Amino acid sequence: IQMTQSPSSLSASVGDRVTITCRAGQRISTYLNWYQQKSGTAPKLLIFGSSNVQTGVPSRFSGSGSGTDFTLTISSLQPEDFGTYYCQQSYSSPYTFGQGTKLEIK
């Protein structure tokens, strides 16, 4: 299942509301996870099942969507939120990832 994220990169200011989108090549219900990766480190699970925030993740992160279209929203961007964000479908093997969205802080 092909996963397509947009944008590929974005630059935003602290306090901004940021939205990243992910589109699946076929319907995947809510089997959509989001991961954050900071340079040189392992990815970290942020959101599972499209809209469920992983324990310990700040409440400014939220997710939504079902079927083929999904969004990750950061309600008020913080300096520590820089990094690359990946969506991943876990509906069927192989568990494919999107190409990533690189988020830079202005």
Partner 1 sequence: DVQVAESGGGIVQPGGSLRLSCVASGFTFSEYWMHWVRQAPGEALMWISRVNNDGTTTYADSVKGRFTISRDDAKNTVYLQMNSLRDDDTATYYCARGATAGTWPVLDPWGPGTLVTVSS
In angstroms, give the least distance from the CB of 1 to partner 1. 11
Calpha distance 84→65 (Å, rounded): 20
Residue of 12, 21, 23, 54 interacting with partner 1 (CB under 8 A): 54
61: part of which helix (H) or strand (E)?
strand 61-66
Give the bridge partners for 66, in sequence order.
Answer: 69
Choose between 42 and 59: whose C-beta lies nearer to partner 1.
42
Closest by alpha carbon to 62, among 70, 73, 46? 73
3-state secondary structure (DSSP) of residue 36: strand
71 scored as a contact of partner 1 (CB under 8 A): no
Cβ 83 vs Cβ 43: under 8 Å = no
Q: Give residues 32-51 in contact with partner 1 (rule: CB under 8 A).
A: 33, 35, 37, 41-45, 48-49
Applying CB under 8 A, the site for partner 1 has a residue count of: 25
Q: Which residues here bind partner 1, judged by CB under 8 A?
A: 30-31, 33, 35, 37, 41-45, 48-49, 52, 54, 86, 88, 90, 93-100
